[in-house]
Amino acid sequence: MTSEQEIVRYNLTKSILFDFFELCYFVVTPNHGPKISGGQPRYQIGDIVRLNCTSAPSKPVCHLSWLINGEPANRSYLKPYEKYVVGREGLEIARLGLEFRVKSNHFRHGDMKLKCVAKISSLYWQSNEASVESDRQQRAPALESRETVAAKSRAHGSSSAKPHSHTTLQQLHLATLLSLLTAFGRPNFSITLR
């Protein structure tokens, strides 16, 4: 190996290590799924739906989105809020409003599903869904809320009902780092995760 190749290898390794340590110390996943607030158990055509979705604290902040009956909500229905920082760790909370006038096409078989999804890249994905009924229905009022949890990262190996802990993320990043370093030759050092 020439000295020029060694310099390139050294700089690449240094860059990978920096990215690895930056990720290890700055990714904190939420400890629960997003929360939906506001709203009513029943709506009729012409009513205004006003809901908010709030993420649990994380770093970086979760990206929130709304789905209506499984389809992304119209952008004009979304009401973005500024993120805010909590705690001495500097964790961030996101909030996204949903506001629209109910039309007949919002109901499927007398039911409207409103889902909020919280996501951090491919490391974290959770949702919460509210099911509301049309006022035309003759059933008893019911507001159903269901939280859905899924890990959307193949690197984690499975879908878990629990958010991933900090240690698990560090172990994932460590495994990725070691795989990359091995691809560039055997490293002359070892890394211990505590």
Measure the CA–CA gap between 34 and 22, rounded to whole angstroms: 26
Query: How deeply is 79 buried, as exposed, middle or buried, from its count of CB atoms within 10 A (0-12, 13-18, 19+)?
Result: middle
Give tens-digit pLDDT for 95-129: 999 999 999 999 998 899 999 999 998 889 999 99
Measure the CA–CA gap between 102 and 80, rounded to whole angstroms: 20
Give tens-digit pLDDT for 2-55: 666 666 565 555 556 555 555 555 689 999 999 999 999 899 999 999 999 999
**What are residue 18's phi and psi, to 5 degrees?**
-60, -50
Angle between helix axes 3-26 and 166-183 (nearest 10 degrees) is 170
Instruction: Between 181 and 93, name the one with better pLDDT.
Output: 93
Give the model's confidence band at 135: pLDDT under 50 very low, under 70 low, under 90 confident, else very high.
confident
Give Rg (Cα) of the chain: 22
Total H helices, total E strands in the chain: 2, 12
Quick one: average pLDDT of 127-155? 60
Quick one: average pLDDT of 78-87? 95
Q: What is the pLDDT of residue 4?
A: 67
Measure the CA–CA gap between 96 and 78, rounded to whole angstroms: 7
Q: What is the pLDDT of residue 122?
A: 87
Token pair, residue 193, equals 């995760």
Write the CA distances from 45 to 5, 69, 75, 183, integer angstroms.
Answer: 68, 16, 20, 60
Question: Would you say the C-alpha torsion 155, 161, 163, 164 has a positive or negative sign?
Answer: negative
Please, what CATH class does the domain formed by 35-169 belong to? Answer: mainly beta
Residue 171: which region, alpha, beta or left (left: phi > 0; alpha: psi -120 to 50)?
Answer: alpha
Q: What is the pLDDT of residue 8?
A: 53
Cβ proximity of 56 and 93 under 8 Å: yes
Mean pLDDT of the chain: 75
Instruction: Between 168 and 93, name the one with better pLDDT.
Output: 93
